[in-house]
Amino acid sequence: MKILVVDDSLTMRRILKTTLRRLGYDNFDEAPDGAVALTKMEGIDFVITDWNMPNMDGLTLVTTLRKDPVYKKIPIIMVTTEAGREDIIEAIKNGVNNYIVKPFTPEILKQKIDQTLQKL
Amino acid sequence: MEIDKILNPFKDSVIHVFNTMLNLEPLAEDAINVLEREITSDITGTIGVIGDITGTASVRFPRALACRIASLMMGTEIHEINNVVKDAIGEIANMVTGGAKGILIQLHEISYKLAIPTVILGSDHTLSYPTGITVKAIPFIIDDQKFYLEICLKNGE
Ligand SMILES: [Mg+2]
């Protein structure tokens, strides 16, 4: 399974990649915003994306992917600090499969990925 | 809205971020009025917020502690302030402000939007605010190092 990690923060991308590697996933690509992510979608099976990013934010990335027949059903987890309930509802309405609030532990990331894959 | 009511969720959020992301246990001291006692730092991560409360929230570190935080986040030793340290401190500010929002919604139904983090560098720099505005800070201690959460927030847009 090839995972695309999308976050404007280099540190956050590193933390996500390190955690994913520890969980046994070692095939991934990364992008600093939604616009770059869209150019790297080929061969991607799973998207983990930040919400707040310059150029193109996570929500726009999700809406764009959901309109594309190829990526209409690709699993997407949104990772963000926006801990508000209304944001979670908005993200899910727009097609996000699951949601992680930063800061998170490796256990939470694992749990969310497993949950998402089970529900497919 | 009293600034003290806002301060506590931010304090809890700082502690939560440090526990979860860095495995560190910062000890909070009593809040201080920044207009009476100016605070200096070498690196500051600031987030603008707008909504039910508006203003800025900042996390402010001495050089050595900022490098230690970035080293923990990246899993490599970093000894100087570079782009990675700047990014890490911006992300700490982002997580602290986002986490505080989650608590403020639940406790007081206060919500806001976050801007992209800004990072300010400079040995012993201070921050300036408009006159007549309340600015509060909470000092935190990790081992022998001290950092600050500094907030300047008022009602409405
Ligand atoms: Mg971000």
Report the pLDDT value the prediction gives residue B2, as an integer from 0 to 100. 78
- Tens of pLDDT along chain B (157 residues) come to 678 889 999 999 999 999 999 999 999 999 999 988 889 999 999 999 999 999 999 999 999 999 999 999 998 999 999 999 999 999 999 999 999 999 999 899 999 988 888 999 999 999 999 888 899 999 999 999 999 999 999 887 5
Identify whether the C-beta of residue B110 lies closer than 8 Å to the C-beta of residue B100.
Answer: no
For residue A47, is it left (φ>0), alpha (ψ between -120 and 50) or beta? beta
Cβ-contact A45, A3 below 8 angstroms: yes
Cross-chain Cβ contact B87/A10 below 8 Å: yes
Burial label for B4, CB within 10 Å (0-12, 13-18, 19+), is exposed
Q: Is A11 helix (H, G, I), strand (E, B) or coil?
A: helix
Bridge partner residues of A70 (DSSP): none
**Probe site for chain B from A81, A101, A105, A107 (most B CB atoms < 10 A):** A81
Residue pair B98/A83 in contact (Cβ under 8 Å)? The answer is yes
- Quick check: B74 contacting A, CB < 8 Å? yes
Domain of B36 in residue numbering reads as 3-155
Question: Is A101 within 8 Å of B98 when comparing Cβ atoms?
Answer: yes
Question: Under a CB-based contact definition with an 8 Å cutoff, are residues A40 and A29 in contact?
Answer: yes
ipTM over the 0.90 cut-off = no
Give me the residues paired with residue B79 across strands: none
Separation CA B65–CA B79 (nearest Å): 10
A60: tokens are 């726009």
pLDDT at A41 over 70: yes
The count of domains in chain B is 1
Q: Is the peptide bond before A32 cis (omega within 30 degrees of 0)?
A: no
Measured CA to CA, the distance from residue A40 to residue A43 in angstroms comes to: 8
Mean pLDDT of A31-47: 98
Question: Across chain A, which distance is largest between two alpha carbons, in Å?
Answer: 33
B87 and A82 within 8 Å at the Cβ level: the answer is no
Residues with CB under 5 A from ligand 1 (ion): A 8, 50, 52
Nearest to B110 by CA among B16, B34, B3: B3
HEC string for B24-48: CCCEECCCEECCCCCCCEEEEEEEE
Give the CA distances from residue A120 to residues A4, A43, A79, A112, A117, in Å, rounded to whole numbers and listed in that order.
18, 18, 19, 13, 5
Domains and CATH numbers, chain A: 3-118 (3.40.50.2300)
What CATH number does residue B15 fall under?
3.40.1550.10
Hey, is the C-beta of B101 within 8 angstroms of any chain A C-beta? yes
